[in-house]
Structure 1
């Protein structure tokens, strides 16, 4: 059975919106501005994570965003990302942008449950915060990994939204990446 892992970059106050500034939000561009000195170490962590994964799960907008940035790249990390199976949740798109992708339509919860049953290993969820909120609400997430950037943005879309109940987590790993980034990993404690 697959293990669904949400992995994303975040400001200290949980904002995940417009990290590269290309979406045009007034607070965008925080990734490079507040992580610049640590991005070589960040790349090492992200590459290792990807090399250990079996698949990616993305929302439609994240599929478009990552496809535009990764399809032309090469190297160990890019080669793995471009070749691994990708599953795109979308109610509007029938044709995914990124290579080796399959569109999941219909009942998101049911489709992701089937996906977890069919893949043995880690399924990473990059960005896709609206999808992540649905997955968390329906107890489909097994682990949450955050790379926290040293900035409080005060506004913008956040990874976590409202839930119908509390979601218990257990800290499984924490480390400093470079001199300013913090990596934390939490296992989701599923009720028995």
Structure 2
């Protein structure tokens, strides 16, 4: 059965984007071979992308997934990609299927398409929704040695109870710490 995985690079202070969705901070950390990513790539069955992540936020330097330079995984992965949206009349974009409505339904659609592989969630709000609904199985974070001070937090839940994780793997690739954990509901 497909598992749901939140996959992101995060700053040491817990941001996955800079202000207004800026992603330029990731540049210095991309390109170094990373065995954790190499291990994950063939195991991905489908992507579930939040609408904000798909559009690239508000930053002028963001590369939304709807443009070739913003393709997930730099275009190195191809397969079913679903964008969670509230707008059922979303204009079509080649290679992406828009799923409007309930998060649980979107996850089920992505799981069916994943054919037993991982459903990788891209986007903090979508990942948080999956976690709160009990749908998130694992988290793979690439911890970068940088402090951003502002942006979109990896996990932000006002007055929320802690979420217990169980380590699965920890490794280092260049300056990046890879942290792979299972959600312990």
Shorter-chain-normalised TM-score: which range? 0.7 to 0.9
Q: Cα 1:151–1:4, aligned 2, differ >3 Å: closer, same or farther? A: same
RMSD: 2.9
Query: Residues 20-99 of structure 1: matches in 2 within 5 Å?
Result: 29-33=24-28, 35=29, 39-42=31-34, 45-64=36-55, 65-70=64-69, 78=75, 80-81=77-78, 84-92=79-87, 94-97=90-93, 99=94
Query: Residues 1-192 of structure 1: matches in 2 within 5 Å?
Result: 1-18=1-18, 29-33=24-28, 35=29, 39-42=31-34, 45-64=36-55, 65-70=64-69, 78=75, 80-81=77-78, 84-92=79-87, 94-97=90-93, 99-116=94-111, 119=114, 120-126=116-122, 128-162=123-157, 164-178=160-174, 180-190=175-185
Q: Cα 1:151–1:114, aligned 2, differ >3 Å: closer, same or farther? A: same
Matched length: 174
TM-score using structure 1 length: 0.77
Q: Cα 1:77–1:161, aligned 2, differ >3 Å: closer, same or farther? A: closer
Q: Cα 1:15–1:103, aligned 2, differ >3 Å: closer, same or farther? A: same
Contact kept, 8 Å, 2:36 with 2:178, in 1: the verdict is no
Q: Cα 1:2–1:46, aligned 2, differ >3 Å: closer, same or farther? A: same
More helix by percentage: 1
Shift of 1:135: 1.0
TM-score using structure 2 length: 0.79
